[in-house]
Structure 1
Amino acid sequence: MRRAVERKTLTGIKVVRRAPMISHLLFADDSIFFVKATEVEAGRVKTIFQIYEDMSGQVVNYDKTTVSFSRGVGDDQKRTVAGLMGVRVVVEQDKYLGLPTSIERSKQGLTRIVRDKLSKKLQGWRGMLLSKAGREILIKVVAQSILTYSMSVFKFPSNFYDDLRSLVSKFWWGVNNGKRKIPWVAWKKLCEPKYMGGLGF
């Protein structure tokens, strides 16, 4: 891929005008390739995949391979390129590592997905008899990991953080007879490090 871009037989992408060209990224167990949405470049990528298969003995799983296009590409061109590659076109509902592959400008759909994911986890734990230590572990190990990953990928509106904080706070203090228990300590204090008297949330 790199040689093809250097020889200008493939076109990668640039984040900004003077940035180096990016032809591919290796992320988690996946490979992401960037090329122009043309029949010529689609054919060249397919040839590169074939060379890789012949040399490595590994086979590209086209059933698990998808292609995503920028907004300027027409539907006919999308179908043509995807057909040449033998892969499926990504749709708006598709997810990658638990997050949507495409988001609206308002990010309402994205915030709803993350909130619902966290809410379902917390609801599932509410039926369990948990000590404060157990709740602390679940919040730190599971709930916060969901949020940390999402927030490392997307920038959320500030009011969304308040909503998430409220969900976790309600889970921490618990519910009695359908009513939220009294929060005896400010959540800001609980978020402080343990050496400062907090719990490090």
Structure 2
Amino acid sequence: MEYLSRLLQLGSMQPAFRFHPMCKSLKIINLCFADDLVIFFKANYGSVQIIKQVFDDFYNSSGMKANLSKSQVFFGGLSAQDKAQLQEVLHLEEGSFPLKYLGIPMRPTKWKEADCGEILKTIKLRLHTWSSRHLSYAGKVQLITSVLLGLRNYWMNIFLLPHSVIKEVDKLCMWFLWGNNGSRSNFHLTSWSKVCLPKSLGVLGFGEGSKWNKAMLGKFIWAINHQQETLWEDIVNASSHGKFKIGLLYARLIYQALAKYHQFVWSRMSVPKHKFITWQAVNSKLLTRDHLLRVFMVLDSVLCPVCELVDESHNHLFFECLFSQQVVRLIQE
């Protein structure tokens, strides 16, 4: 690739070659991504002839030949006649946008909502697979964090997703967590906006879509500021210090006080199920009978099912119930 890049640079110095209008100021002619090569140039006969000659010289020197069946040419602002004339030289199939690279649709213009259909399709497919399983809240949290948001973050790592797509992903995750029956969702113990806040604020830490997307793309700005002699360094010049962390930047976009109990709730020594139940208890979000009564759910009794003396509440369940007090005494002995 380095030898081919040098040949392309030498070819760009010939009088008949013209740079692509968007690449002229930086004199960019090619970009390499893993085993893929993208070449930019003005769509005129002279430039096409030079590019073809470069590939012929590369083949004669190395014995490696471009696979025309796996290569495409993309035009912009040309008539059908001009395209046909250039294709006679290149012998390449004309491509169309969006094109896919590593499963991600690419286009030269602003991303459209239709380009994100693949991420929504994949998430819905996973949810359909899990719908027949009896999962606890803690299990659902693990799947949302590691799988569903992992899919979302893969795309956010590259693009600024449309707001409508981010909202749709959040809605699918919310329905999966709290439950959804057709067009009607079940009782939400905590609003999704709070659930997405960082764990240091005492919540589940899913990451609010728009802010998390911006925090993830912030790493490119950090990379620009800390790498020397790169293409990005030529485009943008800035300076900063320290090591970039997505979570830290995201946390700075949230203006709320830290929860003093977060280290206790999210201790690494606890199993996921215990973490989730403890988080619910600390925030009074367990489905105790007094809580269900407040949301107008019909119950046969609101008394504690253990002692049957006092209405069941968070305070009674953990501190006042005779059975709870007995358990605490046995633990302390």
* TM-score of the alignment, normalized to the shorter chain, above 0.5: yes
Match in the other structure for 1:11? 18
In structure 1, distance between residues paired with 2:136 and 2:57: 57
Q: Percent identity?
A: 26
Q: Which amino acid is the alignment partner of residue 194 of structure 2?
A: K
Q: Which amino acid is the alignment partner of residue 84 of structure 2?
A: R
Number of aligned pairs? 199
Q: Which amino acid is the alignment partner of residue 172 of structure 2?
A: L
In structure 1, distance between residues paired with 2:28 and 2:53: 19
Two-structure CA RMSD over aligned residues (Å): 3.1
Match in the other structure for 1:120? 125
**Counterpart among 4, 9, 19 of residue 2 in structure 1:** 9
Cα gap change, 1:5 to 1:162, in 2 (>3 Å): same
In structure 2, distance between residues paired with 1:200 and 1:120: 24
Task: Check conservation: 2:113, 2:164, Cα contact below 8 A.
Answer: no
Farther-moved stretch of structure 1 (35-44 vs 118-127): 118-127
| TM superposition outliers: structure 1 runs of 4+ over 6 Å | 103-106
**Counterpart among 14, 22, 29 of residue 28 in structure 2:** 22
In structure 2, distance between residues paired with 1:129 and 1:82: 57
**Counterpart among 177, 188, 194 of residue 193 in structure 2:** 188
- Answering whether residue 144 of structure 2 is matched by residue 139 of structure 1, we say yes
Match in the other structure for 1:107? 112
Cα gap change, 1:158 to 1:85, in 2 (>3 Å): same
Cα gap change, 1:124 to 1:39, in 2 (>3 Å): farther
Displacement of 1:152 in angstroms is 4.5
Match in the other structure for 2:74? 68
In structure 2, distance between residues paired with 1:100 and 1:131: 35
Cα gap change, 1:62 to 1:161, in 2 (>3 Å): same
In structure 2, distance between residues paired with 1:8 and 1:152: 40
Residues 163-199 of structure 1 deviation map (CA, whole Å, 9 limit, x = unaligned): 2211121122234688533221222222222233223
Give TM-score, length-normalised by structure 1.
0.77
- Answering whether residue 69 of structure 2 is matched by residue 39 of structure 1, we say no
Match in the other structure for 1:90? 95
Task: Check conservation: 2:16, 2:46, Cα contact below 8 A.
Answer: no
Q: Which amino acid is the alignment partner of residue 10 of structure 2?
A: R
Displacement of 1:132 in angstroms is 4.1
Match in the other structure for 2:175? 170
Match in the other structure for 1:48? 54
Residues 2-33 of structure 1 deviation map (CA, whole Å, 9 limit, x = unaligned): 2222445433335487x412111112431111
**Counterpart among 183, 199, 203 of residue 198 in structure 1:** 203
Q: Which runs of 5+ in 1 are unaligned?
A: none
Q: Which secondary structure state, in structure 2, belongs to the residue aligned with residue 26 of structure 1?
A: strand
Task: Check conservation: 2:12, 2:19, Cα contact below 8 A.
Answer: yes
Residues 114-143 of structure 1 deviation map (CA, whole Å, 9 limit, x = unaligned): 433433333333344444454334333333
In structure 2, distance between residues paired with 1:81 and 1:134: 57
Give TM-score, length-normalised by structure 2.
0.50
Cα gap change, 1:150 to 1:40, in 2 (>3 Å): same
Cα gap change, 1:39 to 1:143, in 2 (>3 Å): farther
In structure 2, distance between residues paired with 1:53 and 1:129: 59
Displacement of 1:88 in angstroms is 1.2
Q: Which runs of 5+ in 2 are unaligned?
A: 1-7, 207-333
